[in-house]
Amino acid sequence: MTATDKQAFHARLLEIGKERYHDKHPFHAMLHGGRCTISQVRAWVINRYYYQSRIPMKDAAFLSRCDDPDLRRAWRSRIEDHDGGTEEGGGIRRWLRLAEAVGLDPDYVASTRGVLPSTRFAVDAYVAFVRERPLLEAVASSLTELFAPKIHSERIAGLLEHYTFADEAALAYFRQRLNEAPSDVEFGLAYVLDHADTREKQDAGAAALTFKTDVLWSQLDALYSAYVTPGRVPPGAWDGREGVVREPVAREAAE
Amino acid sequence: MTATDKQAFHARLLEIGKERYHDKHPFHAMLHGGRCTISQVRAWVINRYYYQSRIPMKDAAFLSRCDDPDLRRAWRSRIEDHDGGTEEGGGIRRWLRLAEAVGLDPDYVASTRGVLPSTRFAVDAYVAFVRERPLLEAVASSLTELFAPKIHSERIAGLLEHYTFADEAALAYFRQRLNEAPSDVEFGLAYVLDHADTREKQDAGAAALTFKTDVLWSQLDALYSAYVTPGRVPPGAWDGREGVVREPVAREAAE
């Protein structure tokens, strides 16, 4: 593989994001544009929690298959970033702060009881993928992080502008990801560009990233199908009431 | 567990079907009532093929974990029923006849290229469940067959009444399942009722059957979301044109 081949492969990966990343999904436009009801925001928080909660398990599955200590050392911070310490910190706790801000009982959200089955199937498919596929593909599937900073920035701006619950504490998850993701993705991208040294491996890497965009897209489809229109909640999923402890307080009123 | 406990558990399993089996999903009413467009029928045929194609793999995963030769012998016919012989027969080939009847290229359908990611995630979750969970739960997850004869009968009647493509050859899959499923499910039900000999195991069996109803429901949600309303096909999924080789011929015209 020449430097030109590598560049072309890099461009191919970026193209996958341009075409398939979930910032193209109508649910995101609704969310960032302030057109979600508080119930729809809550449904998103409840379901997206399931994804957050499985990321450290996914990364642990990755570590469990790495026989290179350097690779394990570089990758391990992802688990720390999401899980935090025994007492505080970490993306999962920050996500639960968002849950509180939208008026949900964080213990209810953490129980994952109301999560849509389709959310579960998509997220579990991601964990299984990383547990079972070649390391190159496992790393490539993480490269949706290439496209995340833009969506996080849009989300912070859009949520702050449109929703009374949104303040810096509620949105700390996204702010922190803006700090963490760039170095993670720099490492992952370099790994994939270096290790995909045949056309076949490039194809496998591109397929892995495509798979991951499907995992993200499928979660928003599930939300849209259950809670937007025609709003048909599957048996057993969150009914719009369970776990709701209070209505969000307007920022002005709280000050 | 007394005979009364067993009866109550049996009733509990039947109740799960009554509340959650996918015959309650609006897509089924559309399909059986003749309110699906030919494109929607095709989308169902393409996606449901993925489920059919994974059933023998699911049953092989089950066999691979059975150390009781009698149980393996009793279970093995499920693989034969779906895969058929090397030259002919089997549910998968019968499903591809349905694909032909609705004007699809059976090779396209068999490639599973156009399958919705959410269909894949749900079906793969089922295969993983049977590969990973205790045998009792794996058997219990097959008990949606308790509710299948009714849906197959409704489907045969509804498709024959409402769609020009439907004739006995096209619907052979369902007719045959009406012959096979009752003895399969009789065996599975007896196994689950006998082996769930603690309250904890009964709960696990009920949860496994509930999980399976989620797997089926999620597939119809995915179809509805992509091809009914608002009809938002996810990136890469079947576009309504690929694999279509001809319009179905009306039965009258063909005679």
Residues B77-94 as b or e (16 or more Cβ within 10 Å = b): ebbebbbbeeeeebbbbb
CATH of domain B3-236: 1.20.910.10
Establish if B16 touches chain A: CB-CB under 8 angstroms.
no
Establish if B15 touches chain A: CB-CB under 8 angstroms.
no
Query: Residue holding tokens 């909660």?
Result: A53
User: Where does the pLDDT of residue A254 fall: very low under 50, low under 70, confident under 90, or very high at 90 and above?
Assistant: very low
Q: Give the mutation candidate from B54, B127, B131, B218 for the A interface (greatest A CB count, under 10 A).
A: B218
Neighbours of B182 (CB within 10 A): 14
Measured in angstroms, the CA of A208 and the nearest CA of chain B are apart by 13
Contact check, Cβ <8 Å, A118/B122 = yes
User: Where does the pLDDT of residue A184 fall: very low under 50, low under 70, confident under 90, or very high at 90 and above?
Assistant: confident
Contacts of A124 in chain B (CB under 8 A): 121, 125, 128
The pLDDT of residue A202 is above 90: yes
Per domain, the residue ranges of chain A are 3-237
Contact check, Cβ <8 Å, A229/B226 = no
User: Quick check: A136 and A195 in contact, CB under 8 A?
Assistant: yes
Contacts of B225 in chain A (CB under 8 A): 221-222, 224-225
Which tokens belong to A5? 């081949």
Nearest residue to A147 (alpha-carbon basis) of A201, A86, A193, A213: A213
Quote the pLDDT of residue A255: 37
Residues A12-39: what's their mean pLDDT?
Answer: 96
Which tokens belong to A152? 């996080």
Establish if B33 touches chain A: CB-CB under 8 angstroms.
no
A205-237 pLDDT tens trace: 999 999 999 999 999 999 999 999 777 999 999
What amino acid occupies position B117? Answer: P
Q: Give the mutation candidate from A54, A118, A129 for the B interface (greatest B CB count, under 10 A).
A: A118
Contacts of A218 in chain B (CB under 8 A): 117-118, 121, 222, 234
Q: Give the mutation candidate from B22, B27, B121 for the A interface (greatest A CB count, under 10 A).
A: B121
User: Where does the pLDDT of residue A181 fall: very low under 50, low under 70, confident under 90, or very high at 90 and above?
Assistant: confident
- The secondary structure of B230-245 as a DSSP string is S--PPTTS--SSTTB-
Q: What value does the mean pLDDT of chain A take?
A: 93
Quote the pLDDT of residue B116: 98
Establish if A26 touches chain B: CB-CB under 8 angstroms.
yes
Q: Tens digit of pLDDT per residue, chain B (255 long)?
A: 899 999 999 999 999 999 999 999 999 999 999 999 999 999 999 999 999 999 999 999 999 999 888 899 899 999 999 999 988 999 999 999 999 999 999 999 999 999 999 999 999 999 999 999 999 999 999 999 999 999 999 999 999 999 999 999 999 999 999 988 888 899 999 999 999 999 999 999 999 999 999 999 999 999 999 999 777 999 999 999 999 998 876 654 443
Measured in angstroms, the CA of B152 and the nearest CA of chain A are apart by 22
Contacts of A221 in chain B (CB under 8 A): 118, 222, 225-226, 232, 234
Q: How far apart are CA A140 and CA A150, in angstroms?
A: 19
**Looking at chain B, which residue has its C-alpha nearest residue A237?**
B214
User: Where does the pLDDT of residue A86 fall: very low under 50, low under 70, confident under 90, or very high at 90 and above?
Assistant: confident
Establish if A216 touches chain B: CB-CB under 8 angstroms.
no
* Phi, psi dihedrals of residue A253, rounded to the nearest 5°: -60, -30
Quote the pLDDT of residue A219: 98
Establish if A233 touches chain B: CB-CB under 8 angstroms.
no
Which residues, numbered 99 to 158 in chain B, qualify as contacts with chain A under a Cβ-Cβ cut-off of 8 Å?
Answer: 117-118, 120-122, 124-125, 128
Contacts of A113 in chain B (CB under 8 A): none
Quote the pLDDT of residue A182: 84
Contact check, Cβ <8 Å, B121/A122 = yes
**Looking at chain B, which residue has its C-alpha nearest residue A234?**
B217
Establish if B221 touches chain A: CB-CB under 8 angstroms.
yes
The pLDDT of residue A67 is above 90: no
Quote the pLDDT of residue A247: 85
Contacts of B19 in chain A (CB under 8 A): 235
Establish if B167 touches chain A: CB-CB under 8 angstroms.
no
Quote the pLDDT of residue B87: 87
Nearest residue to A214 (alpha-carbon basis) of B28, B5, B73, B115: B115
Quote the pLDDT of residue B255: 37
The pLDDT of residue A244 is above 80: yes
* Phi, psi dihedrals of residue A141, rounded to the nearest 5°: -70, -15
For residue B77, the SS3 value is: helix
Which tokens belong to A195? 């290790």
Quote the pLDDT of residue B86: 87
Which tokens belong to B80? 């034969």
Say which CATH superfamily domain A3-237 falls into.
Answer: Heme oxygenase-like (1.20.910.10)
Query: Residue B118 is nearest to which of A20, A122, A229, comparing CB atoms?
Result: A122
What are B244's strand-pairing partners? B104
Quote the pLDDT of residue A249: 65
A92-144 pLDDT tens trace: 999 999 999 999 999 999 999 999 999 999 999 999 999 999 999 999 999 99
Residues A51-74: what's their mean pLDDT?
Answer: 93
What are A244's strand-pairing partners? A104
